[in-house]
Amino acid sequence: MAGDKAEVLALAPKPTIVGPLEKVFTVHKLWEAPDRDAFLAGVAPRVRAIASAGGHAPVDAALMGRLPHLEIVSSFGVGYDHVDAKWAGQHGIVVTNTPDVLTEEVADTALGLMLCTVREFPQAERYLRDGKWTARNYPLSKATMRNRTVGIVGLGRIGKAIARRIEAMGVPVVYCGRNRQPDVAYRYYDDLVAMARDVDILMVVTPGGAATKDLINAAVLEALGPDGILINMSRGSVVDEPALIAALRDKKILSAGLDVFVNEPEVPDELMAMEHVVLFPHLGSASLHTRQAMDQLVVDNLVAWAAGKPPLTPVAETPWPAKRK
């Protein structure tokens, strides 16, 4: 077996990942198979790794269980709720993601989305393009960053990068999460509803998955109040979308800025029709610079593993070295 290339199952047609992998590995392209079940049955005994190019292709127990020699899943993106990492860890399979290389980009996007939502910048730009400025000035924005407090839900790497930017604007920051963070001085809340009641802007950057599904629910939005603004940079599943639509429609909150949605790329018609919200098409890390770095980290994790070295960024549920049953 010495000198043989390890065999990798690639789940999505992403040339910037698949191309570099083909220089090092034998790559099986699942999307090209007319009969996926038959294809998987044929390659399963030889596949030792999965390259997952994003969150739209689930890497669940059913898939991993079909690959008896699977050792690693290298996933694109900092979020990995599409991978059953708990099951993987229990079966000695390492899961990696692509943190850090996207932190600052996502934080930049979050700040931009927040400012667009608070100051109505997209609406003002549409107003100008529609030729309305020649008749009268755009109305004064209802909200401002002045005299506001931002509550961050999930103060991880990205949450802290966002907090630094907000703090530099002279805006107070508080946060809510599973645990108090020892390296920050921001006020900590262990009760999300209580924090929502005390802040003016709720910035959501917590991981997705079952544990946070519908975390931002009707009670949280009610506590945020009629002058409150919700910004979601995490996963669409974290926000109870019907409850949000109702809160916006009934003016229980002032506005929302959303970069993520429950059924992407589909966006509810009710949100599309609302002029007082700002909607981004999941732009968080979407620059050439950052996406190239994320692609490379997917590849680098697999290259390190194939060389017998520790993967660069294993997730918490699957620490290295893995212990197979």
CB 254 within 8 A of CB 227: yes
pLDDT, tens digit, 9 for 90 and up, residues 249-300: 999 999 999 999 999 999 999 999 999 999 999 999 999 999 999 999 999 9
Catalytic residue among 120, 235, 241, 291: 235
What is d(CA 278, CA 248) in angstroms, rounded to the nearest whole number?
12
Q: Which has more pLDDT, 2 or 297?
A: 297
What is d(CA 79, CA 97) in angstroms, rounded to the nearest whole number?
7
Query: Is 105 designated active site?
Result: no
Percent of the chain with pLDDT over 90: 94
Closest C-alpha among 296, 220, 275, 284 to residue 252 = 220
Distances (CA, A) of 154 to 207, 257, 295: 8, 17, 25
Q: How high is the pLDDT of residue 5?
A: 92
Sign of CA dihedral 91, 92, 93, 98: positive
- Per-residue pLDDT averaged across 167-173, rounded? 97
pLDDT, tens digit, 9 for 90 and up, residues 216-251: 999 999 999 999 999 999 999 999 999 999 999 999
Residue 83 has pLDDT above 90, yes or no: yes
What is d(CA 159, CA 182) in angstroms, rounded to the nearest whole number?
14
Q: How high is the pLDDT of residue 56?
A: 67
Catalytic residue among 91, 157, 282, 317: 282
Catalytic residue among 249, 264, 276, 289: 264
What is d(CA 233, CA 112) in angstroms, rounded to the nearest whole number?
11
Query: Is 264 designated active site?
Result: yes
Q: How high is the pLDDT of residue 325?
A: 59
Percent of the chain with pLDDT over 70: 97
Residue 265 burial class via C-beta count within 10 angstroms: exposed 0-12, middle 13-18, buried 19 and up? exposed
CB 187 within 8 A of CB 181: no
DSSP notation for 51-77: EE-STTS-B-HHHHTT-TT--EEEESS
Distances (CA, A) of 257 to 150, 219, 271: 14, 19, 11
- Residue tagged 């690639």 (tokens): 10
DSSP three-state, residue 195: helix
Under the banding of pLDDT at 50, 70 and 90, the label for residue 1 is very low
DSSP three-state, residue 6: coil
Measured CA angle at 218 (ends 214, 220), to 5 deg: 85
Residue 290: both structure tokens together: 């950052």
